[in-house]
Structure 1
Amino acid sequence: MPELPEVETTTRGLAPHVTGQTVTTVNIYQPQLRWPIPKELTQLEGQTSGDITRRAKYMLWNFPQGSVVMHLGMSGTMRVVDAETPLKKHDHFEVVFANGKALRLNDPRRFGAVLWQEKNTELSIIQSLGPEPLSNHFDGNYLHQKLAKRKGAIKNAIMTNAVVVGVGNIYASESLFLSGIHPKRAANRVSKERCQLLANNIKLVLKKAIQQGGTTLKDFTQADGSPGYFAQQLNVYGREGESCAQCQSIIKNMTLGQRSSFYCPKCQR
């Protein structure tokens, strides 16, 4: 699944192509995604778009009367093409612009979403989200407070959207490694000092991933079709059986919350 850096990379890649463009046609080829694509999106025809921003793993494409809320799901990609370009299999949603270009959502598994959010309102899925990990609101004090009553594994806790958004499996594993925290450690047993270290490393890992274009996943490509590069520099994720770069111990993998969790048994306690 594309994680926060992939979604941020996609958002930045799309912005210069869709901002300020006049919509001529909205085509819904397959309305049944995670939730049905609302027919009222056709109201965008004749409208000029504003900017495109990100909230957690959602992209918000802003218009005067509201926002198109888009999620890539497990395998979705967004791309800008010439409007005459033949549709690909699994192209489910398309916005055609007056300049002859088109924005298309391709989603083989149909776990993505295209929704409508009226101006000055928030969808319930947006309202329930915790703070952005790169915001000033997310720091060690906040994290320690949120974890105080959580007895479950720290890795699951930092992947919970009500605690902080956008820390997916890859980046949780990497942040915990840099912080020397075992992924199975009880969340409420992480000290305030280590929470500060963890919050700082979450920011560091995500910023680095965004700068380098997101993590290369088999289903993800950037808006221009090129892959990300951060996967080449991962410390533990996907490296089961390999040597830890810090201590030469063998990287291990266990399942937490139905997800693979990679860690160094010596460096992480």
Structure 2
Amino acid sequence: MNILNNLLAASGGGHPTKMEAVIAWIKDHMTLAGNHWSPTGFIEIPNESIFSNNFTTQSLFLIISTVITFILFGVIYNKKQEVPTGMTNFLEPFVLYVRDEIAVKNMGDKDGKAWTPFFCSLFFLILGCNLLGLIPGNATATGTFWVTGSLALIVFLCMTVGTTIKYGPVKFIKAFMPPGVPGWVLVLLTPLEMIGLVVKCVSLTIRLFANMLAGHIVLFSIMALLYVFSYYALLAYPIAVGIYALEVFVAFLQAYVFTFLAALFIGEMFHHAHGHDEEHAH
């Protein structure tokens, strides 16, 4: 808690100042993305430096999670093994669960199996970012709006560009027009359906970002009680341990929820576009 002591010494002490130091400490951790990163540590880099392109700590841990995911599935995981062994055996239940319970259930057997690599990558990338953020001193990449927004943008492109490539632009537009609805209703309903497509992706962004950020704020706030109230707040530390354990569960849960909703939204667009084909054939 050096930052707390430094802030307290700079402001002259006093109980209210301790609270201000705690608030500054929490903000410092939550806004760690604002600090530039360099091989020598988290320091400010001059504008002329090669690191002055806003390469943040969140960016660093996002890259680490991406590299780990690539190594696990691009190098280590061997799907050709008849009897999985080693790390493949460890990853196999996760892959099968994502395939059978997320991809296939929301997109059907054919599309679900074809999109399983994408959803596995999405799940393990988010899970890696969530778990790396729980290491003391690390930054949570999924606790920033821009990272979760970028992931949601990828899902949005899959919903729009993917559907357009698979079924064509005409059927993509018809996906927003429920069959059997009068024309004058479609004039109002179609724009709302298109707006709903954007709202779904915004909800993906906020849900993951808010859950990861809020959990860290609560955890840091409880830890700061000991600094403010001294040994009177010792009983709060078992609560902090429990919340930390809850954060580990939330890391898995939010990775699952984001991946499940992504599969649900993409499968829904495919279903609506494909539904017009079936109606025309009938």
TM-score by length of 2: 0.27
**Higher relative contact order (CA closer than 8 Å, sequence separation 6+):** 2
Q: TM-score, normalised by structure 1?
A: 0.28
Give the structure with the larger helix fraction.
2
Task: Pick the structure with greater CA Rg.
Answer: 2
More strand by share: 1
